[in-house]
Amino acid sequence: MTRAQFQYSKKVLKHFRNPHNLGKINDPSGIGEVGNMVCGDVMKLYIKVKNNIITEIKFETYGCAAAIATSSVITDLVKGKTIDEAIKMTNKDVIDSLDGLPPVKIHCSLLSVDALSEAIYDYLFKEKKEIPKEVVSRHQRLIVHSS
């Protein structure tokens, strides 16, 4: 792979060097943890929800520049959104917010959306609220792939 095929955008580098919402939330409403066994990236996302709105969101990520940048940007995209709005977040939203990712790093954007989905699943499950089908489906897919 040539250097030109593996170039990060300025936004990716900005989020990597100065990640937003880095850290852990004490007593979170939900936690989502996902990983990619092939590349070794692990993302843990914490959400705090009040009145169906994600009021606080933080992350801890072990991984490459793209993993850290996608974790950072998804926290910016989701903070202040309702649970329903957050559920609709796609990896394309993450990629577009970062002005693109190298093709070999697209999986990082998927991990960030999966971590968010798992945090939402965890929150809804703990609160005994109805879990939308797409969240249940994604959760079941992640459980199968992690075993």
Please list the active-site residues: 39, 108
Q: What are phi and psi of 77, to 5 degrees?
A: -70, -30
- Separation between Cα atoms, residue 131 and residue 120, nearest integer Å: 9
Indicate the SS3 state at residue 19.
coil
Give how far Cα 108 sits from Cα of 48, 50, 89, Å: 23, 28, 14
